Amino acid sequence: MSAAAHGRSAMEPAGIARALDTLGAWVLAILWFLPLIYAVWTAFHPTEYSARFDLAAPLTLKNFADAWSAAPFARYFLNTVLLVTMILAVQLVLVTLAAYAFARFEFFGREVLFALVLVQLMVMPDVLIVENYQTLRRLGLIDTLLGIGLPYMASAFGIFLLRQTFKSIPRELDEAARVEGCGFLKMLWLVYVPLARPVYIAYGLVSISYHWNNFLWPLIVTNSVTTRPLTVGLSIFAAVDQGIDWAIICAATLMTSGPLLIAFLLFQRQFVQSFIRAGIR
Amino acid sequence: MSFISVRGLKLALAGGALLGMASTQPSAALAQNLSFYYPVAVGGPITKLIDALASDFEKENPGIKIKPVYTGSYQDTIAKTLTALRGGEPPHFAVILSTDMYTLIDEEAIVAYEDMVKTDADKAWLKSFFPGFMENSQTGGKTWGIPFQRSTVVLYWNKELFKEAGLNPDKPPATWAEMLDYAKKLTKKGSTGNVTQWGVQVPSSGFPYWLFQGFTTENDVRLMNAAGTETYYDKPAVIEALQFWVDLSRKHQVHPPGIVEWGTTPKDFFEKKIAMMWTTTGNLTNVRANAKFDFGVAMLPANKRRGSPTGGGNFYVFKKSSPAEREAAVKFAKWATQPERAAQWGIDTGYVAVTAAAWDTPKMKAYVAGFPAAAVARDQLPHAVAELSTHENQRVTRALDDGLQAALTGTKTPEQAMTDAQREAERILKPYRR
């Protein structure tokens, strides 16, 4: 007993630091989790209980049923998944090739071109809505999934992020690969892409969550149930003229963000590990 | 300057193209495909109701196809419409806020109904709406919008709480003095001195100008002229009205302090945190379904007179359309506002049915007999005025909203707030006074 006490006192400073760390982590986790807990509580109880906590409150699935029937959510789910997948797939290809060129090739006007790409980062997408709409109309892409995604496919953020990553990869690896007889594309595939995997994952997360949540642009550029994403369906519940029905809003929100949450929970180990590996390198 | 002329040129070109199209089209009834933008501003299955309206109309009018497009809130709808307009592909017709009339006229986006209707029956139809709703739909002697989903502000009171406070539960306050007096009796404090129940609540988030128009109209003053080129934010009667609103919370402490959320006000009412509230008639269905106590609906209390603003959306027909398409759009607007249908729409949604004839239908009479509160909005209409609307509507209204919120939170005196708001509005509207 006394030995243990002794040992602990020797460890005291580190112990306190660790306790504080744990405490801090818990506080942050709870703060992050609170809105979610509230949403779950509200979604599964009748409206009367959305501002009143009562353990005996009756559970119900009615809010979900109401929310689901208020708009063609099944179709919207499909649209959103297709849209997000398409955008991410095209982005990954374009961004990789562009970043590789900017990072490793010498060509005329490279700096100017890269500066132009960076300028895109400074412009708020909302400012371009009218211009983009006109372009898409000339292309005949109004009211199509491709039309929603097209303006986002050449992502300046992605190009910038990957270029910096590619630049930080030692030239030696590059040269070794060339000695082994790799061409440019093979080198990209075998050396650069695997080494940048954590960055790809981080970028994929940002891209998916952004496009999953994007509202105004898809609303403006689409007119049909067959092209509209989830957010447009969700916005029906945001009609506040009649007061806010938290129960149904929470149910609809959980329903539409659920797949993302579940995917993140399932893959979180991989995410976290890839970030850690990115740090160790 | 140069881009204006380019726009003019484009319009001229578009017009030319249209004429060309119209002349090449055989005059025999070709199928008309009309796109129709509409917002959802109240709860309930609005998208389904609209889809049903469109398909019923198509059944009765073969040859016309309506494609209803849900376009988010009113704000999203005007954003989408203007984007589509500049992109060269506006809808054929749309439901948009009555207050966006000047904006749409300035964009040269819409056609006046006088330029489209021909028969006497159609002309009579234009005159069939409540004049209170037409104030926001006409300017310069022309009708630009047809009232469709319209509302107004009324007072809801909790009869149970009235009884508890020793007031007559069937007698709502008729004047400002009475409302203040009742509110004092209805405000309850807990043992620690915090208020557990407020006498009255007038929401002030989002669009405080609308509820403020209740106070100003009752104080017998208008906020703008009919041409939409002048505002009167700093008139003494306006400042007086604001002073009364501010005093409710700051001086008399019968109204929650600061900015009160619009969206949660009905909830506060259901949970008996407030005994009286001012909100839209669009809440009627909601309150009826969720209030677990006896409640009443009354006209807003009077000061120098009764009064309340109207609100909501109108049908607009867009310029970029062939004569046949315009005719079909007008036909739909007329069809949707027929007494029977206007009555049904009012019952389904809680909006105020837009014509007197709609209130005379058996359906509506039966509804009112079972739920007399529904008729209060109609009875208040003779006292109603146009919702604040001017050229550059968003910015001019914003100036007032900022002033109101500054006064309610106490960062400015009502007088200072209104003087500043007027100066800002003046600056924005100057170019429109020629």
pLDDT tens, position by position, A186-218: 999 988 999 898 889 889 988 998 999 999 999
Q: What pLDDT, on a 0 to 100 scale, did the predictor assign at position A5?
A: 46
What is the pLDDT at residue B163?
95
* Interchain proximity B88–A137, CB inside 8 Å: yes
**For chain B, what's the residue count?**
434
Domain borders along chain B are 26-151+311-385, 152-309+389-432
Contact B89 A47 (CB under 8 A): no
The hierarchical CATH code for the domain B26-151+311-385 is 3.40.190.10
Please tell me the least confidently modeled range out of A50-54, A194-198, A264-268: A50-54
**Mean local confidence (pLDDT), B272-296:** 90
Of B45, B89, B263, the CB nearest to A70: B45
Check pLDDT > 80 for residue A168: yes
Class of the CATH domain delimited by A75-224: mainly alpha
Q: Give B-chain residues touching A130 at CB under 8 angstroms.
A: 83, 86-87
Instruction: For CATH 1.10.3720.10, list the domain ranges present in chain A.
Output: 75-224
Residue A48 in this model has a pLDDT that exceeds 90: no
Chain-chain contact of B87 with A134 (C-beta, under 8 angstroms)? yes
Q: Does B154 touch chain A (CB under 8 A)?
A: no
Interface-testing mutation among A135, A241, A245, A250, with chain B (most B C-beta atoms within 10 A) = A241
Which residue does chain B place closest to A243, by CA atoms?
Answer: B263
Q: What mean pLDDT comes out for the span B59-69? A: 92
Angstrom CA distances, B380 to A101, B133, B218, B297, B310, stand at: 70, 12, 12, 11, 10
Cβ of residue A141 closer than 8 Å to a chain B Cβ:
no
Nearest CA in chain B to A235: B72
Nearest to B80 among A220, A242, A245 (CB): A220
Residue of chain B whose alpha carbon sits nearest to that of A131: B87
Q: What's chain A look like in SS3?
A: CHHHHHHHHHHHHHHHHHHHHHHHHHHHHHHHHHHHHHHHHHHCCCHHHCCCCCCCCCCCCHHHHHHHHHCCHHHHHHHHHHHHHHHHHHHHHHHHHHHHHHHHCCCCCHHHHHHHHHHHHHCCHHHHHHHHHHHHHHHCCCCCHHHHHHHHHCCHHHHHHHHHHHHCCCHHHHHHHHHCCCCHHHHHHHHHHHHCHHHHHHHHHHHHHHHHHCCHHHHHHCCCCCCCCHHHHHHHHHCCCCCCCHHHHHHHHHHHHHHHHHHHHHHHHHHHHHHHHHHHC
The reply to whether residue B266 touches residue A134, judged by beta carbons under 8 angstroms, is no
Chain B residues 112-141 with CB within 8 Å of chain A: none
Given a cut of 70, is residue B12 above it in pLDDT? Answer: no
Per-residue pLDDT of B334-392, as tens digits, reads 999 999 999 999 988 888 999 999 999 999 999 999 999 889 999 999 999 999 999 99
Closest CA of chain B from A72, distance in Å: 11
CATH superfamily of the domain spanning B152-309+389-432: Periplasmic binding protein-like II (3.40.190.10)
| Tokens matching residue B299 | 């006209």
Q: A104 with A193: CB under 8 angstroms? A: no
Asked if A242 is an interface residue toward chain B (Cβ–Cβ < 8 A), one would say yes
B225 phi and psi angles, rounded to 5 deg: -90, 170
Interchain CB distance below 8 Å, A134 and B86: yes
Q: Do A220 and B280 touch (CB under 8 A)?
A: no
Nearest CA in chain B to A224: B69
Q: Is B87 on the interface with A (CB under 8 A)?
A: yes
Q: Give the alpha-carbon dihedral of B109, B68, B334, B356, to 10 degrees.
A: -100
- Whether B26-151+311-385 and B152-309+389-432 share one fold: the answer is yes
Q: A247 CB near a chain B CB, below 8 Å?
A: no
Express each pLDDT in A214-257 by its tens digit.
Answer: 999 999 999 998 999 999 888 888 766 666 778 888 898 898 88
- Calculate how close chain B gets to A151, using CA atoms only, in Å: 16
| Helical packing angle, B393-409 and B236-250, nearest 10° | 40
pLDDT of residue B40: 86
Residues in chain B closer than 8 A to A223 (CB atoms): 35, 67, 69
Rounded to an integer, the average pLDDT of B51-60 is: 94
As a whole number of angstroms, the distance between CA B174 and CA B296 comes to 13
